[in-house]
Amino acid sequence: MSRRVVVTGIGIVSPVGSDIDTFWSSLCAGKSGIDKVSAFDISDYPSKIAGEVKDIDFSQYVDPKEVKRTDRAILLGVVAAEKALKDSKLDLSAIDTTRCATIVGSGIGGLSTLETEHTKLIQRGPSRVSPFLIPMMIPDMPAGRISISTGFKGPNYAVVSACASGAHSIGDAFMIIKSGVADVSMAGGTEAVITPLAFAGFCSMKALSTRNENPQKASSPFDKKRDGFVMGEGAGILILESLEHALARNAHIYGEVIGYGASGDAYHISAPPPEGIGAQNAMKNALACSGLNPSDIDYINAHGTSTSLNDKYESFAIRKIFGEYADSVSISSTKSMTGHLLGASGAVELIASLYAIKDGVIPPTINYEDPDPECDLNYTPNTAVKKNVRYVMSNSFGFGGHNACLIVGKYESSKNSN
């Protein structure tokens, strides 16, 4: 079987908004969600800024007793999943839940829980460690908890591929539905590691921006002044369905997933290879899967981390794959506003990509003020641009050389199945 796959539900929790309207209007307005870290005492750290999810009451979605024994990464994912399910208007009593998958990734998992419980172990001994440590910590638990809450009994697992986790999860869900293994899937990513240990580790790598004096200007993808990424947290969950399943229940369709490409760098634990060859291969594979030409892509939501090597080599890779069309395609990095949501980033950015198609708007790359000669493409600087958007490519690359590329398009009922 080779079935068409569409998106019928969206759930978002992010530093720029935890409902879809606020999220999207913030991106279009160039509004940053980055500020001084409030989760812990940051005074001894070189980097002091992040994109935190604020003003969220988890007890509205999860029993208050469960909130206390559930890691923040799981809670963010559960909230986004509930929003997506509600948005999709799926009637769980009317569908075959054994053909409903749950594929939700997390790059790191419940690190906050691990830090808290390890402190208890050192200070108070093993008997004081929580019996919920393991189920709160392991990266597969967002998928597990979402499956339990929805009753989805189809394929259920987590993808852990660092910052490509969310995109790989959606890609896997796309392939599972396309091949006929499932009819519906929850898919996406969640991450919550604005914690002392994670910050210490990334600071020791010199991976984070230290432009603390003006937090909202710190994430500046493709700009010459960029000095590292800004940590973010959040979750993005999408409901994917086979077209037949969606039409049978008269579902609202946001767009169609038409291409997925994945590759491995086989090069370095944290740095991309010269010329972004892994990124090139992922984009090439996604285009081949979709049946599109580079000239068909209207917008690229770039990985665009605001780090020196990623932005340089992603730009090179785009120019290599898109050739003479590279100067015409619109590109932006929404990480300039949200920060880098790590394992959730690919899902959150695909949601932005679908809304770019829906509203015909390219969200900007803010803080683009001093062009880097090695990043010489159209990054939609500082201000959103109106444009008819048919097809969007969304890139995600992770430590370990994990690359994922997704292509979504405007839904057209007359299109033949692939």
Among all residues, which ones are annotated catalytic? 163, 303, 340
Rounded distance, CA 169 to CA 151, Å? 19
Which of 26, 49, 185 has its CA nearest to residue 105? Answer: 185
Amino acid at 299: Y
Rounded distance, CA 74 to CA 323, Å? 42
Which contiguous run of DSSP H or E holds residue 277? helix 277-290
Which of 228, 230, 249 has its CA nearest to residue 239? Answer: 249
Which of 3, 51, 25 has its CA nearest to residue 193? Answer: 51
Count CB atoms within 10 A of the CB of residue 414: 4
Provide DSSP, 302-342.
Answer: ----S-HHHHHHHHHHHHHHHGGGGGTSEEE-THHHH-B-G
Contact between 193 and 111 under an 8 Å Cβ cutoff? The reply is yes
Q: Which residues of 19-35 are buried (b: 16+ CB within 10 A; e: fewer)?
A: ebeebbebbbebebbbb
- Bridge-based pairing of strands 402-409 and 330-332 is unpaired
